Amino acid sequence: MSSKKEKGLFLLEEVIENLENPKFSLFSCIQKLNRIGKLLNEKKLIIWTEIQLGNTIYTTSLKELISAFIENENENNKKTKEKLKAITKTVKELGIDVGIDITNEELTAKATDAGGSFSNIGYIEDKYKDYVKTKRGNDGTYYTANLSQTLSVVKSLAYKKASFYHKKYAYEHLPESNFEILKNQVEDVLFEIDPELAEQLLLAFKSVSSNSEEEWSQGLTSCRRFFEKLADNLYPPTEEKINGRSLSKENYINRLWAYMDENIVSKSNKDLAKKHVDFLGLYLQSTFKLTNKGVHSSLTRVEAIKTVMHIYLVCADLLDFLDKDKFLDKKPSIYSATLDEIVVVGNVSKNIAKEIIKLRVKKNKITEDDLKEIPGLGVKTLKRLLENITLESK
């Protein structure tokens, strides 16, 4: 008879495999994670999955927390502060550490009914599928884009948690190799930057670990997409040129070079830092040659594994110079934020949010002076908006 740990590990492997397949139900994966939490006595996992399954013991207090937070941001008086403090204490007593057990990204996605709020994830999933099937954008309450965002956030978090607990229990008696330590560190930073970014690299590593030549090639294709997305996060596209190099969307290698030029700097030894940048640039180009080889011709498993391992090594260097504060609790951009994000995160009325969206249609570049022209957007409200939403393009 298998032990609880063995059953838990088996289910974790199932969940990871199912989450990698878009045909599988997210609701089913969350149910399995809930069962895993109970098998392995992982209370934090149980609480998180109960939240996803709509358990009102947790969701009622979380809704009250969001409401109290918005009220305090708008009114900011003794009464609202005390109310926020009280509900924060209640949430803490339930075993929920806001920002850790439930991320700010998840709270933002679930802050309004448009994204399903804290409804059962199965209900949200069914709503989204129904809207896509019937080609409806919204029904006045639920919006397809917001439902999709909620599902995407929850899926990324579920994958991260499943991977974490699988590593914890599958290898708990094995010492980590030096590469595993580096690999885990890189993945942890990538999850902070963008969960989808980390997932792409994890999938590439999984592909080259298989026995299928087709999967090796797919893994290297994933590497290319990974680097494009990494460049988008580290150095977003711009019309500017540096030393004659285009920094447009398709020139992602040039943008990685620009990131290195700006960030890999040593005051004590600038020459050494510059040589390091040059070395990494050449290394990136050779890595991409291997990646292209995976797309256009046959390759050996060793070549595929080498490429992915080299990518981890290069990432370790790139991310070592990363200003992580820029990526923790990133502010939404005024150019890409949804109507609900502007309302909830920016703490403004829906009418003002609509005017902001109209403004960004008219203008490629929005300034603070442009926003001052919006009726009803006073000095205090504008200040609050700009504290939570950036005018920089993402």
Strands (DSSP E) found in 240-336: 241-242, 245-246
Predicted confidence at residue 277, as pLDDT, reads 46
Q: What pLDDT score was predicted for residue 360?
A: 85
- Structure confidence by residue, pLDDT tens digits, 277-321: 455 456 545 655 655 554 545 667 887 787 788 888 878 877 877
Q: How far apart are the first and last CA of the chain?
A: 53
Residue of 124 and 241 predicted with greater confidence: 124
**Number of CB atoms found within 10 A of residue 192's CB:** 17
Q: In whole numbers, what is the pLDDT of the chain averaged over residues?
A: 83
Q: What is the pLDDT of residues 383-393, one digit of tens each?
A: 888 888 888 76
- Note the pLDDT of residue 18: 92
Given a cut of 80, whether residue 174 has pLDDT beyond it is no
pLDDT digits (tens, 9 = 90+) for 133-165: 898 888 888 999 899 999 999 999 999 999 999
Query: What are the distances in angstroms from CA 288 to CA 220, 245, 282?
Result: 9, 18, 10
Whole-number Cα distances in Å, 367 to 359, 370, 371: 10, 5, 7
CA-based nearest residue to 252, from 295, 281, 218: 281
Grade residue 212 by pLDDT with cuts at 50, 70 and 90. Answer: confident
Whether residue 54 is predicted with pLDDT greater than 90 in this model: the reply is yes
pLDDT at 116 over 90: yes
Domain boundaries, the chain: 4-170, 178-326, 339-388
pLDDT at 172 over 70: no
Query: If pLDDT is split at 50, 70 and 90, which confidence band does 265 have?
Result: low
**Is there a contact between 114 and 143 (Cβ–Cβ < 8 Å)?**
yes
- Is residue 343 pLDDT above 60, yes or no? yes
The whole-number pLDDT of residue 162 equals 93
Q: How confident is the model at residue 2 (pLDDT cuts 50, 70, 90)?
A: low
Kindly give, in sequence order, each residue whose CB lies less than 8 Å from that of residue 115, ignoring residues fewer than 6 positions away.
Answer: 109, 124, 142, 143, 146, 147, 149, 150, 340
CB 163 within 8 A of CB 191: no
- Asked if 385 and 353 count as a contact pair (C-beta separation under 8 A), the reply is no
pLDDT at 309: 84
Matching residue, tokens 């939403």:
389
pLDDT band at 25 (very low <50, low <70, confident <90, very high): very high
Residue pair 134/114 in contact by the 8 Å Cβ criterion: no
The CA distance from 190 to 184, in Å, is 10
Say what the pLDDT of residue 224 is. Answer: 76
- If pLDDT is split at 50, 70 and 90, which confidence band does 240 have? confident
Per-residue pLDDT at 330: 61
pLDDT at 281: 52
